[in-house]
Structure 1
Amino acid sequence: MPGPRIRLTTMAHGGGCASKLPPGELEDVVRGLSGQRYDQVIVGLDDGDDAAAVRIGGPDGDTAVLSTADFFTPVVDDPYDWGRIAAANALSDIYAMGGEPVVAINLVGWPRGVLPYELLQEVLGGGLAIAQQAGVPVIGGHSVDDPEPKYGMAVTGTAPANRLLRNDAAEPGLPLTLTKPLGVGLLNNRMKTTGEVSAAAIEVMTTLNREASRAALAAGARAATDVTGFGLLGHLAKMARASGVGAVIERAAVPLVDGAAEALRDGFVSGGTRRNLDWVRPGVEAGPGITEDDLLLLADAQTSGGLLVVGEVPGYPVIGETVAGSGIRVR
């Protein structure tokens, strides 16, 4: 008879993208590292974009190679689903730049002697399934013996050099589109605490951002980012700052994953979410009727969230607009 199923989320202090270093602390660490200048680098460290972009084929080359890496501790207890979520999340960085992924390699931290390798096979199988769905070969990788289990991917992609979706390309007076509902951070934290699995959250986290990215490009968008560990407010703040614009968010227009409002009501707010809100709060103006819970929801640390696109993308909800000036108003 097989033994009891191991709850992977109990083996890590945080889960998914909520385990990221806080945005303010991370910016302090990398400050001063962006001074390197290479003619072929189109997008580097300066504005916190989702992936690096390097032009190939000389100064007039029309193709950009995109490079990113993303991994995290277990966000759900099922190893196969964790693998699927982590792979979708890593691939999302390429889609957020308007690119198409070409190849991926696995990144693994595993507590050998504590967790059986059969579980790792399930994790890798989940990652492979999502990569196959995206049409991306997974070739090799790197592993280390680690007290906490970790999994993700390094992904390489390509995009037209003059059609990247960037953090610094937002203009005022355009709609803001969000391509996935918010709230998976709350639901994941509830699951970590209670063991209650949200099928709706897993569905959101395992959905590729491929179609949303292609739709954004077809609609003429120039600026976008994916909404992950820093929450909607955090990622919007980074994009607005890089572009020199402000933004307005219509709280009632922001879609939620089924069960997220109840998880918020019941207090399943992660420490990462609270740190996100602390970081953006000085630049956020809450309008009449906007509560602290509203702001926590907008700062909820997402894992494998959707794209936040400057411009209207058919088929996805508009949640606000960019404006002249600075800061974010929530109303």
Structure 2
Amino acid sequence: MTPPVAPDQAALGLSDMLAEKPLCGGCGAKVGPGVLNAGLCQLPLPSRADVISGPGDDAAVLEIGGLRQVLTTDHLRAVTDDPAAMVRIAILHAMGDIWSMGAEPQAALLSLILSRQSEPLQARVMEEILTTAQAVLQAEGAALVGGHTTMGSEMTIGVTLTGLCGQKVITQDGGKAGDRLILTRPLGSGIILAAEMQGAARGRDVAALLDVMQAPQGRAAAILRGAATAMTDVTGFGFAGHLGAMAKGAGLSALIYLENLPIFAGVQDLVRAGHGSALAKSNRAAAPVAGLAEGDWRSAVLHDPQTAGGLLAAIPAQKAQEILAALAKEGIEAWEVGEFEAGPEGGMAVRA
């Protein structure tokens, strides 16, 4: 893909941005973690008694009639021109926030930006999106209750979701020293999607990735929440970014089992060829990992933004093998990828 040429009059810094990698789709299009955290730090704590938590976790926690409800919102630039596949990915991506909080999906609103097109095409695309969305939500016990539509330069799908979890909420910051870290999905989706934008990814690798991204994780979440002390979903800030947030919240360090990390097929070759997401640089700056050998290609994977990524759960050491066995019995792949330990708050290192 040839980078666009900056106009004669443009915002400060635009030329530098256009000289870098093209803007990615999916979670690779997020605002960087440093910029986002600087903005969130200026927000006051919630003043309402029924708003239990503010920004920072995967979803907000509300208390309504003695029940705990979680609330999240997300939107994705399209990573595929297939509207049905894209809405399926967007909904399951947003559901990751609900599942990681230990909740069951409840209700959804869709916010759709369709590329500009004739009214007959609009109607066909809308029917395809809504039919697929309804099926995906119903399969997970949730309802589609409304939304909003506009037209723009490209397809973007947003999802706002609520979930119910009774009184027990699983947050990012409950991990304990010695807990094992279990991950339910391979890494490297951002690298493949970035390469696919430039026609450099193998078709079979892209197809395999899209299949994984469209697979629900409700059964995995149900197994994990029975033992998890903390949980998150690995998305835009990469494995290291989300793990670092868990470790910081718990006042611990994290040891990463580098050799155990699951990685999508084709990623190693793409990294060595120089492919990667536009967001990876910001992710790396925000979540450094110690102990990596100079030039280790897996550094790129640790900071790669994921779309519809896996669940990452902290499980007490004595229960980890039991949980892995329960996942395997259901045909769900999962990997033990690290552990929490006493050490500098939020620190991360790879196991030698």
TM-score (normalizing by structure 2):
0.82
Task: Give matches, 1:285-324, under 5 Å.
Answer: 285-287=290-292, 289=293, 291-311=295-315, 312=320, 313-314=323-324, 315=327, 316-324=334-342
The answer as to whether partners of 1:43 and 1:54 remain within 8 angstroms in 2 is yes
Is the deviation greater in 224-233 or in 200-209? Answer: 200-209
Aligned to 2:262: 255
1:204 to 199, 209, 212: 212
Number of matched residues? 309
Aligned to 1:18: 28
Task: Give matches, 1:39-188, under 5 Å.
Answer: 39-45=49-55, 48-57=56-65, 61=66, 63-113=67-117, 116-117=121-122, 118-161=124-167, 163-188=168-193
- Residue 231 in 1 paired to residue 251 in 2? no
1:222-259 deviation per Cα after TM superposition (whole angstroms, max 9, x unaligned): 20000001100011111111221110001110111222
Secondary structure of the residue aligned to 1:188 is: helix
The answer as to whether partners of 1:82 and 1:126 remain within 8 angstroms in 2 is no
Distance in 2 between residues matched to 1:254 and 1:83, nearest whole Å: 28
- Residue 215 in 1 paired to residue 197 in 2? no
Distance 1:120 1:14, change over 3 A: farther
What one-letter code is carried by the residue in structure 2 that aligns with 1:321?
A: E
What one-letter code is carried by the residue in structure 2 that aligns with 1:41?
A: V
Distance in 1 between residues matched to 2:253 and 2:241, nearest whole Å: 13
Distance in 2 between residues matched to 1:120 and 1:189, nearest whole Å: 27
Distance in 2 between residues matched to 1:140 and 1:191, nearest whole Å: 33
Secondary structure of the residue aligned to 1:248 is: strand
Q: CA deviation at 1:152?
A: 2.3
Q: CA deviation at 1:184?
A: 1.2
What one-letter code is carried by the residue in structure 1 that aligns with 2:280?
A: T
Aligned to 2:47: 37
Is the deviation greater in 175-184 or in 311-320? Answer: 311-320
1:301-324 deviation per Cα after TM superposition (whole angstroms, max 9, x unaligned): 100001110113323211010011
Distance in 1 between residues matched to 2:141 and 2:296, nearest whole Å: 42
Aligned to 1:270: 277
Aligned to 1:192: 197
What one-letter code is carried by the residue in structure 2 that aligns with 1:66?
A: V
Cα RMSD for the two superposed structures: 2.0
The answer as to whether partners of 1:41 and 1:55 remain within 8 angstroms in 2 is yes
- Residue 243 in 1 paired to residue 247 in 2? no
Aligned to 2:38: 28
Unaligned runs of 5+ in 2: 1-21, 328-333
Percent of residue pairs identical: 33
Distance in 2 between residues matched to 1:259 and 1:84, nearest whole Å: 24
Secondary structure of the residue aligned to 1:145 is: strand
Q: CA deviation at 1:114?
A: 7.8
Secondary structure of the residue aligned to 2:220 is: helix
Q: CA deviation at 1:196?
A: 4.8
Distance in 1 between residues matched to 2:209 and 2:62, nearest whole Å: 34
Is the deviation greater in 20-29 or in 114-123? Answer: 114-123
Unaligned runs of 5+ in 1: 1-11
Secondary structure of the residue aligned to 2:165 is: strand
What one-letter code is carried by the residue in structure 2 that aligns with 1:133?
A: A
Distance in 2 between residues matched to 1:43 and 1:215, nearest whole Å: 25
